[in-house]
Amino acid sequence: MPLTLNPTDALVVIDMQRDFLPGGSLAVAGGDEIIPALNALAAKFDHVLLTQDWHPANHISFASTHGRQPFTDTIEAPYGTQHLWPGHCIQNTPGADLHPDLDIPHAELILRKGFREQIDSYSAFLENDGTTPTGLAGYLRERNLQRLFFAGVAYDFCVGFSAIDGHRLGFETIVLEDLTRAVSLPGSVDHTNACFAEQGIQRIASREIA
């Protein structure tokens, strides 16, 4: 049966920014393809939240900060292994802007993450140390938003980490699999799927929402 939306549901749209979409410095293949369906789905939700990567120019996650190669290289940060990426979503640059075709005028919150120089933040809830909160959980609880539907990019990083952390923090989390796209580093999608299965996080198609 189709899922019926409730007043305590929210759609969380992850990082639909220029740099993560085709033509950007860390483009996720096909990321722009989901924008029309995202816009249409968002219109069904009373509550929509957006996230936005917001990095300083010398962020710890940038390969250029360490003189290393993006995608293939990692470093050991105080909080664990950090993948290294091309510079992306630098504060106050066009690449950090939400894509202009994203049309969700009733979005009630834009949460910026990854703005601290020495720590990355894939998750919308916790930075990569697993303890530093972004404040999103408190916002959701004060608004009595309980069931969260996740979409955007990238499935195997920011979408996945957000859904898993949301679940661990006591929210019901559902991933809209057709409205995400993955970076697809070696093993990253399989690992994300395994984590979802272990945590009991649902993956559904957006057409299943009434």
Cβ(31)–Cβ(159) below 8 Å:
no
- Secondary structure class of 41 (helix, strand, coil): helix
Point out which residues pair with 10 in neighbouring strands: 148
Instruction: Name the 3-class secondary structure at 95.
Output: helix
Q: Given phi > 0 = left and psi -120 to 50 = alpha, else beta, which region is 130?
A: left
Catalogue the active-site residues.
15, 113, 158
Separation of alpha carbons 29 and 183, rounded Å? 7
